[in-house]
């Protein structure tokens, strides 16, 4: 029997403690005719053992719940034997909750237990192989000890970290053990002469945690840059806070009086703080300004650097002269707030850094290499064309290749989105990322990495992201003109006042203009509005990783939907039944031993209808198009029409007619035959998700055109489109990832804005190529990396919130720009007229930022909708 994916990690049996508790209760309960105490049962078993065959026609059968041998009357049904009332209660509780699959999983776990134990031992020994560890290969230190960093699976909280660290240090040979909860990694220093890495992995497994190789190189750059920005903000904040305290003392001295020597000293100290802020954390703006001058490109850093330079130079001169204004508090505060804006932008752009090496996130990093009859785990990167690998049931194929032995069914949804698995046999081509569903197969490798099909899809993602011109935010568009205008006006102001007044007055008015017209609010308007929009969207269950998505989605265009898992539930379900329910019951008895999605759908439907099998079915053979088995001494066949014909099974005319009806309704007909004749027919379909039609209608009302791009059969795609009220010429099925990408490119040539909503790695290239990619919950991780928007709620109704919230956020950006520009126009006019001194300019400068913040926070976006 096949082992379901994940069964090696999750126990499916009732714990001994629970059973002991239940049995204790049953022993303490009064004896009745409905049960038998453990002591009575033990006495009976002892008597039976001593006296040989029972004379009261009782036989020993396994308890249906726990499997322990239990005396039972010969006329008792084989699946109704219980060793105690506790097992009986647990059995009926599990069945009542619709969790009958528990017993099939339990039986498979028992059958594969010995093989799993052997596999566990081999898995631990792999930690001695550099080929398996890759970047986590231990590094030898000067004192002969080794250090390494491994990924830890199963961490949940600080208690887990405490347990691992303390348990490790109690093991001889482990010198240092540290858990990084933020990365879920285990940093380890150990003595290889006293303990092996495989023994440490075994120790962690005994504690309930699994170790695996870890590659930290891709995250280091992001963390270092984030840390550098935060350190700059912290330094600028410290300098600004202290400069502000000195400024308060000097401003207060304007009214209450202050000694000249004290004023001079405080002026020098404040100037030192302002110069430190400008030359330290603020040097990033001078770097950008110099780059703008070298390329003759107007940039927001140019007026910032100019204002900082003039303010610092004049302030430094006045500080040493002991007269005039020094502006140090304005300088330090300005640097502090502008760095915060830079950090917000960096946070928005982190998605690009996280997109590195996406392929390793969706395909296995290791493969089971078969060579000279021996198997061992190796890194996928080390595989060469011609190597042969073993793919167990439930595992993903690690490389493109051809099956050389074994027959199975594979799930291609990662690549094609096809909702129904296909049969694969020797000679069949398989691709990295496909999932083996039934039996072990051996694959001869033909391509790995970038040369594989999924690797080419990843290259399409990178190419689409690179060729897509980034949306230039409104701040950059207006900023170029603003920079030139302010610089020119400051020069004119200086020259005019120099002609009609002295140098000090001209410098004072020009500096006041540069300070009061500082683009602080203009630079912060977009990041602030975007940050508020991101936070409100996150509270609504919509994670947006690129602020430009707001501007993209605010203008109606064309939105394409993937079908499987996006518009539909993404899981096969029995939607129709023709014929005998007993046929469904017998089929479920056989299918419960199979991990195929169709078999699981049949098992779930039988459980929903309360059709419990009388005995355990036997899965005898996996064949092309279905399965063959035995249930209640009947020969059972479940599969498609081709299987029935190949087995010579009789199909009644009414069943054939029903099958044609199912096909017309977009359902997949599955035949159930008992003893050579079809007695039941079930229709399987992937039903529409809740509110799918109302969401489509709301998007149309917002001005968007809607279509479907699917890898599923064209007829099924058209039927889904018909149910949603979409025209057939906008519903395309049978598309490969490359064809979806081409459809997006054609749409971008016709429409200003194109959005793609997907749920699977097959959509990764299309998500990246669209102006805005939107991944829904359940999609492969690569889709989340390629798409700037992730619908964490999994609800299609959140799409309407996203589109409306984007329009509202974009409107706020326009309003804040208008407020900021209006303020600057008025302030510049006053400064040119000589009505604003540098001191007043320093006081007025934050007003624009405060007004922008007030408008942004007062706006309402991403409010909950009722569909």
Which tokens sit at 43?
Answer: 């006495």
Strands (E), 393-505: 400-405, 408-411, 422-424, 429-430, 435-436, 441-447
- Using DSSP, state whether 854 is helix, strand or coil: helix
CB 363 within 8 A of CB 398: yes
Which tokens sit at 89?
Answer: 């209660």
CB 541 within 8 A of CB 498: no
CB 617 within 8 A of CB 586: yes
CB 547 within 8 A of CB 530: yes
Which tokens sit at 129?
Answer: 């192989």
Integer Cα distance of 709 and 481 in angstroms: 42
Integer Cα distance of 746 and 733 in angstroms: 16
The answer to whether 562 is a known catalytic residue is yes
Integer Cα distance of 322 and 335 in angstroms: 25
Q: Which residues, listed in sequence order, are joined to residue 731 by a DSSP beta bridge?
A: 708
Integer Cα distance of 634 and 631 in angstroms: 5
Integer Cα distance of 642 and 583 in angstroms: 19
DSSP tally for the chain: helices H, then strands E: 31, 29
Which residues, 6 or more positions from 858, have their beta carbon under 8 angstroms from its beta carbon?
none
Q: Which of 400, 562, 686, 712 is catalytic?
A: 562
Half-sphere exposure of 112 (CA within 13 A, CB side): 22
CB 681 within 8 A of CB 672: yes
Q: Residue 358's closest CA among 455, 254, 274, 435?
A: 455
**Residue 662 burial (CB count, 10 A):** 21
Supply φ then ψ for residue 626, to 5 degrees: 165, -155
**Residue 70 burial (CB count, 10 A):** 23
Q: From edge to edge, which strands make up the β-sheet containing 705-709?
A: 542-544, 789-791, 772-776, 754-758, 558-561, 705-709, 731-732
Strands (E), 228-355: none
Instruction: Please return the burial class of 485, using the count of CB atoms within 10 Å of its CB with bins 0-12, 13-18 and 19+.
Output: middle
Supply φ then ψ for residue 213, to 5 degrees: -60, 150
Q: Residue 246's closest CA among 231, 268, 277, 261?
A: 268
Helix residue ranges per DSSP H, 357-452: 359-362
Instruction: Please return the burial class of 88, using the count of CB atoms within 10 Å of its CB with bins 0-12, 13-18 and 19+.
Output: buried
Q: Which residues are catalytic?
A: 562
């Amino acid at each position: 029997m096949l082992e379901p994916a994940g069964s090696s990690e999750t126990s499916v049996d009732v714990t001994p403690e629970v059973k002991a508790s239940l049995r204790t209760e049953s022993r303490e309960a009064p004896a009745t005719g409905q049960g038998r105490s453990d002591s009575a049962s033990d006495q009976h078993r002892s008597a039976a053992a001593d006296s040989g065959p029972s004379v009261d026609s009782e036989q020993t059968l396994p308890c249906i719940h726990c499997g322990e041998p239990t005396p039972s009357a010969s006329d008792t049904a084989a699946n109704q034997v219980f060793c105690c009332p506790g097992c009986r209660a647990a059995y009926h509780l599990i069945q009542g909750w619709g969790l009958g699959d528990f017993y099939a999983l339990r039986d498979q776990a028992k059958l594969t237990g010995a093989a799993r134990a052997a596999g566990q031992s081999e898995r631990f020994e792999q930690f001695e192989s550099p080929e398996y560890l890759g970047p986590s290969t231990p590094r030898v230190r000067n004192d002969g000890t080794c250090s390494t960093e491994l990924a830890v699976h199963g961490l949940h909280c600080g208690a887990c970290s405490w347990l691992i660290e303390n348990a490790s240090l109690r093991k001889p040979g482990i010198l240092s053990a540290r858990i990084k909860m933020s990365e879920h990694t285990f940093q380890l220093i150990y003595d290889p002469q006293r303990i092996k890495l495989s023994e440490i992995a075994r120790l962690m497994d005994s504690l309930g945690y699994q170790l695996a190789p870890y590659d930290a190189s891709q995250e280091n750059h992001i963390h270092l840059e984030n840390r550098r920005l935060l350190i700059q903000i912290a330094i600028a904040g410290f300098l600004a806070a202290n400069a502000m305290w000195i400024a308060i003392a000097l401003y207060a001295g304007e009214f209450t009086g202050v000694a000249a020597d004290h004023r001079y000293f405080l002026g020098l100290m404040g100037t030192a703080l302002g110069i430190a802020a400008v030359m330290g954390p603020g040097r990033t703006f001078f770097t950008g300004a110099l780059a703008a001058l070298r390329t003759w490109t107007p940039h927001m850093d140019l007026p910032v650097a100019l204002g900082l330079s003039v303010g610092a130079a004049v302030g430094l001169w006045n500080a040493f002269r002991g007269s005039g204004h020094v502006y140090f508090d304005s300088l330090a505060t300005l640097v502090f707030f502008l760095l915060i804006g830079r950090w917000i932008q960096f946070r928005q752009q982190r998605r690009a850094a996280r997109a590195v090496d996406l392929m390793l996130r969706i395909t296995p990093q290791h493969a089971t290499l078969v060579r000279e009859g021996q198997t061992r785990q190796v890194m996928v990167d080390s595989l060469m064309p011609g190597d042969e690998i073993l793919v167990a049931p439930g595992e993903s194929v690690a490389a493109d290749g051809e099956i050389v032995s074994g027959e199975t069914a594979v799930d291609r949804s990662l690549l094609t989105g096809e909702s129904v698995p296909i049969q694969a046999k020797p000679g069949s081509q398989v691709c990295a990322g496909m999932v083996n569903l039934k039996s072990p197969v051996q694959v001869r490798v033909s391509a790995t990495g970038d040369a594989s099909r999924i690797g080419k899809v990843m290259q399409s993602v990178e190419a689409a992201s690179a060729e897509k011109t980034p949306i230039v935010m409104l701040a950059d568009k207006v900023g170029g003109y603003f920079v030139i205008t302010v610089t020119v006006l400051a020069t004119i102001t200086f020259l005019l006042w120099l002609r009609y007044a002295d140098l000090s007055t001209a410098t004072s008015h020009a500096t006041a203009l540069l300070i009061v017209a500082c683009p602080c609010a203009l630079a912060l308007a977009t990041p602030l509005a975007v940050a508020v929009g991101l936070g409100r969207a996150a509270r609504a269950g919509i994670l947006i990783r690129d602020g430009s998505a707001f501007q993209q989605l605010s203008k109606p265009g064309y939105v394409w939907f993937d079908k499987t898992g996006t518009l539909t539930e993404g899981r096969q379900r029995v939607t129709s039944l023709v014929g005998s329910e007993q046929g469904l019951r017998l089929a479920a008895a056989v299918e419960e031993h199979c991990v195929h999605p169709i078999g699981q759908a049949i098992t779930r439907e039988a459980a929903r209808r309360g059709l419990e099998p009388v005995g355990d079915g036997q899965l005898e053979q996996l064949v092309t198009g279905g399965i063959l088995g035995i249930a209640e001494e009947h020969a059972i066949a479940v599969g498609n029409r081709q299987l029935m014909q190949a087995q010579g099974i009789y199909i009644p005319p009414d069943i054939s007619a029903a099958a044609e009806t199912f096909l017309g309704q977009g359902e997949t007909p599955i035949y159930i035959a008992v003893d050579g004749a079809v007695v039941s027919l079930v229709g399987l379909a992937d039903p529409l998700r809740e509110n799918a039609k109302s969401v489509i209608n709301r998007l149309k009302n917002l001005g968007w055109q809607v279509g479907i791009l699917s890898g599923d059969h064209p007829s099924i795609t058209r039927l889904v489109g018909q149910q949603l009220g979409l025209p057939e010429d906008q519903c395309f099925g049978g598309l490969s990832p490359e064809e979806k990408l081409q459809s997006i490119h054609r749409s971008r040539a016709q429409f200003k804005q194109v959005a793609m909503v997907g749920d699977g790695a097959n959509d990764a290239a299309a998500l990246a190529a669209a102006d805005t990619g939107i991944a829904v919950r359940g999609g492969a991780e690569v889709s989340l990396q390629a798409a700037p928007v992730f619908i964490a709620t999994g609800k299609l109704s959140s799409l309407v919130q996203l589109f409306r919230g984007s329009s509202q956020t974009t409107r706020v950006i326009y309003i804040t720009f208008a407020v900021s520009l209006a303020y600057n126009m008025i302030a510049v006019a006053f400064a040119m007229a000589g009505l604003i001194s540098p001191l007043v300019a320093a006081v007025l400068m934050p007003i624009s930022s405060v007004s922008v913040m007030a408008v942004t926070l007062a706006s309402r976006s991403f409010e909950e909708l009722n569909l």
